[in-house]
Amino acid sequence: MKKGRKISGGKYRKTRKKKLFEKSGQPRIVKLGKKKAKFIKMRGGGKKLVLLSDNTINLMQKGKAKKTEIKNVLETPSNRFLAKQNVLVKGAIIETPLGRAIITNRPSQEGIVQGKLLEKMPAK
């Protein structure tokens, strides 16, 4: 059968269009680079700090947080092309001076990058 058609050949029609509050906003892509953030208006009059680019991460290590820089995005399980473009998303594995780490939050929603250490760098 053709897409969007009933078994009888008739068309499926939408009951209504999306309302303004149901529509999605513009996608925010958080790149690796100098920190840049902005406030956006939320429904109900609130404001949200969203990240546009950043080069630091708050790493959890043995229950303590440590702020360190991000060197590179190694891989992104959700989309392999995002790693090539150095896009910071939840679940991305990054390289830091302390070792490899994974991003545990959503930087485009929260205005900060947080993660946990996967492995330590060998001592030189």
Domain edges within the chain:
29-120
b (16+ CB within 10 A) / e for 53-65: bbeebebeeeeee
Looking at CATH, the fold of the domain delimited by 29-120 is given as: 3.10.290
pLDDT in tens, 45-75: 999 999 999 999 999 988 889 999 999 999 9
For the segment 87-100, the average pLDDT, to the nearest whole number, is: 94
99 CB neighbour count, 10 Å cutoff: 15
* Residue 120 clears pLDDT 80, i.e. is over it: no
Give the burial class of 82: count Cβ atoms within 10 A of its Cβ; 0-12 exposed, 13-18 middle, 19 or more buried: middle
Structure-token pair, residue 12? 């499926």
To the question of pTM greater than 0.85 for the whole model, the response is: no
Percent of all residues in the chain with a pLDDT value above 90, rounded to a whole number: 70
Residues 6+ apart with CB under 8 A from 30: 51, 52, 53, 54, 87, 88, 89, 107, 108, 113
**Mean per-residue pLDDT over the chain, rounded:** 90
- Cα separation, 26 vs 1, in Å, equals 34
Element (H, E) at 56: strand 56-61
Q: Can you give the pLDDT at residue 88? A: 96
